[in-house]
Amino acid sequence: MAVINNVVCDEIYVVGEGETLHTIGDKCSDPFIVENNPHIHDPDDVYPGLVIKITPSPHNNIPN
């Protein structure tokens, strides 16, 4: 899980109202969000309920 600004993002993420891949990538600190979701042909065309994969940056992982 990634943590940024007290926001926890699981590897499987469900898009919420008003979110874009860019805002989710920023929130979850995932610079490769577009590349890791090849099923999304248009990064601007996401919708609430869409399931995407998050690959958090290693420095944002919660320590064990």
Please report the pLDDT score of residue 37 as a whole number: 93
Residue 63 lies in a domain: no
Residue 64 lies in a domain: no
Domain that holds residue 6: 2-57
Please report the pLDDT score of residue 30 as a whole number: 92
Number of structural domains (the chain) is 1
Residue 21 lies in a domain: yes
pLDDT tens track for 6-31: 467 899 999 999 999 999 999 999 99
* CATH assignment of the domain containing 35: 3.10.350.10
Residue 62 lies in a domain: no
Residue 33 lies in a domain: yes
pLDDT tens track for 27-59: 999 999 999 999 998 888 899 999 999 987 665
CA distance 44 to 60: 25
CA distance 25 to 17: 15
